[in-house]
Amino acid sequence: MTGFRLALKDAVRFVKSSLMVPVCQLGDDAVVSAAKTSMASKLLNADELFWSRLAVDAVRSVKTLAANGKARYPVSAIHILKAHGKSSRESELVNGFAINIQRAAQGMPTVVKNAKIALLDFPLQRHKVQMGIAVQVDDIAEVEGIRQRELDITKERIQKILQSGANVILTTKGIDDTCLKYFVEAGALAARRVKKEDLTRLARATGGRVVVTLADMEGNETFDSESLGSAELVQEERVGDGEMLYVRGTSCSRATTIVLRGANDFHLDELDRALHDVLMVVKRVLESAAVVAGGGAVEAALSIYLEKQAHTLGTREHLAVAEFAQALLVIPRTLSVNAAQDAIELVAKLRASHNAAQQHLQDDLQKFTGLDLTTGRIRNNLAAGVLEPAISKIKCLRFATEAAITILRIDDMIKLNPMAQE
């Protein structure tokens, strides 16, 4: 275990000192190249340039600055919507927040400027007496009075929401026809059955708060205007077979939506999964601002380096360090086998190249040598654009080492003898 930790420490130091390349030296193309590398084995690979640029633009559009001044790229601010129809190349990046819903009534406006958005998590329906409550009346005319009072209670609730300044109302529950009439008369835009996660994400972007009830601490019903979110524009647009609601110019944080187009649900789901991986890779590259060469280059370089380090140790830890070095070669060997190439020959060439690079430091680019699995040769993967986030590579080494140490900590395994059959 001590030998593995020693090997990990040396490996991380070697990656940071020799193999890591700052993105600023390579330019913006490095981020696009890292995105292309991540989608090499996925469905998006057929249009890698289109998807990589779309992913980079999406992640950069949600850039925020943390309290310490560092740039952060929250992928959660990128909303992905799926719409049937058209080719996947006709997917688009929308500057704003899109929700896959439409207006609750045709009489409502399709465009609302300077929107004040009420985010509700309760139904807007006609008030009814709760179950288990019996009302006895002596005069049949009083029944009509009870019904009228139910309508008045519903109207008062709607008026409280509208008087707070809200002109866009979104709720996760239903809205009945009685409430819709009041919204249409007020010229407000209302939508029902919004997904809870969409409402929460929209609240974060617009500075609003999801309201679960109108009741206050005194037992009265009020609606606080401070819980309203704000946006420059809320607009309904037709996309594919249906309509979507776009919220642009959110007040608190920038929001971006990617509208995926595809033939069916299976195709769209696979696009969603692959695109999420690409977005995370772009986020890592932009936040760490450093990349390493891919195609087994890092693993082969570390294997040669750690083998040499093992020969310098005069303790028993040199065995663990040497085994650590050998284990790293599993990555380039597996890559070669999966590409139906000669793994033994390719890995031997790769090791020879990195051994020469570490002995003759004058050829500085030779340390970026990796596998070209299309032609079955080795090449400079940094120049070829096969790049990976440096922080992800370092984390993989750390997690794998901790997993191996955890297994080694298990000293004994107790087995119970099977019960004797009588």
What is the C-alpha separation between 65 and 67, in angstroms, rounded?
7
Mean pLDDT of 41-70: 85
What was the pLDDT predicted at 37? 87
225 within 8 A of 118, measured Cβ to Cβ: no
What is the C-alpha separation between 284 and 390, in angstroms, rounded?
8
Alpha-carbon Rg for the chain, nearest whole angstrom, is 30
362 within 8 A of 44, measured Cβ to Cβ: no
Highest-scoring range by mean pLDDT, 64-68, 90-94, 417-421: 90-94
Amino acid at 367: K
What is the C-alpha separation between 157 and 179, in angstroms, rounded?
9
pTM: 0.74
What are the tokens at 179?
């409430």
Measuring CA to CA, how many Å separate 193 from each of 121, 238, 263, 286, 415? 10, 18, 25, 36, 55
Place of tokens 């004994």: 412
What was the pLDDT predicted at 43? 81
Mean pLDDT of 30-49: 85
* Among 403, 93, 114, CA closest to 275: 93
What is the C-alpha separation between 185 and 238, in angstroms, rounded?
24
Q: First-to-last CA distance in the chain?
A: 46
What is the C-alpha separation between 402 and 124, in angstroms, rounded?
53
pLDDT higher than threshold 70 for residue 128: no
Bigger pLDDT: 325 vs 143: 325
Lowest-confidence region among 21-30, 224-233, 257-266, 406-415 = 406-415
- Chain segment 138-183, per-residue pLDDT in tens: 666 666 666 666 667 778 888 888 888 888 889 888 888 888 888 8
**In whole numbers, what is the pLDDT of the chain averaged over residues?**
83
| Pairing, β 78-84 against β 256-262 | parallel
What is the C-alpha separation between 388 and 395, in angstroms, rounded?
12
3-state SS, one letter per residue, for the chain: CHHHHHHHHHHHHHHHHHHCEEHHHHCCHHHHHHHHHHCCCCHHHHHHHHHHHHHHHHHHHCCEECCCCCEECCHHHEEEEEEECCCHHHCEEECCEEECCCCCCCCCCCEEEEEEEEEECCCECCCCCCCCCCCCCCCCHHHHHHHHHHHHHHHHHHHHHHHCCCCEEEECCCECHHHHHHHHHHCCEEECCCCHHHHHHHHHHHCCCCECCCECCCCCECCCHHHCEEEEEEEEEEECCEEEEEEEEECCCCCEEEEEEECCHHHHHHHHHHHHHHHHHHHHHHHHCEEEECCCHHHHHHHHHHHHHHHCCCCCHHHHHHHHHHHHCHHHHHHHHHCCCCHHHHHHHHHHHHHHHHHCCCCHHHHHEEEECCCCEEEEHHHHCCEEEHHHHHHHHHHHHHHHHHHHCCCCCCCCCCCCCC
What are the tokens at 284?
């890592």
Residue 121, judged by CB atoms within 10 A of its CB (0-12, 13-18, 19+), counts as: middle
Q: What proportion of the chain, given as a percentage, has pLDDT over 70?
A: 91
Residue 19: pLDDT band (50, 70, 90) is confident
Torsion of CA 409, 412, 415, 416, to 10 degrees: -120
pLDDT higher than threshold 80 for residue 184: yes
Neighbours of 120 (CB within 10 A): 25
What was the pLDDT predicted at 279? 92
What was the pLDDT predicted at 206? 85
pLDDT higher than threshold 60 for residue 35: yes
What are the tokens at 46?
């057929």
- Chain segment 356-378, per-residue pLDDT in tens: 888 876 566 778 888 888 888 88
